[in-house]
Amino acid sequence: MLPISSSSGITPVGQPGSAGVNKANASQSNNPFSQLLSQANADQHSSDQAIRELASGESDNVQQVVMQVVKAEMSFQLFMEVRNQLIESYNELMRMQF
């Protein structure tokens, strides 16, 4: 097997000076699915924080906690629906005959 030359612009994974991880993180920030996952995760964390504050007595605003929980739940449901549609589309493409 021929080694990958540096003139191709591709650095092999695991090589010193490889920026593969940085490029992967940069491309994830442009990925709408990744952004949706990050938003759902952030909503879940804020919901957990609001519940902890209510349980510890730091906050007495039950309505705000309920709103945070509902927002996190809806965000997760949206993420799952998008995921299911992507999987369904992928499976449909796999069933096609070329």
**pLDDT score at 8:** 46
CA 77 to chain centre: 13
- Per-residue pLDDT of the chain (98 residues), as tens digits, is 444 554 444 444 444 444 444 555 555 568 888 999 999 999 999 999 999 999 999 988 999 999 999 999 999 999 999 999 999 999 999 998 76
The predicted model scores a pTM of 0.64
Question: Distances from the Cα of 56 to the Cαs of 1, 4, 42, 59, in angstroms?
Answer: 62, 58, 21, 8
**pLDDT score at 30:** 83
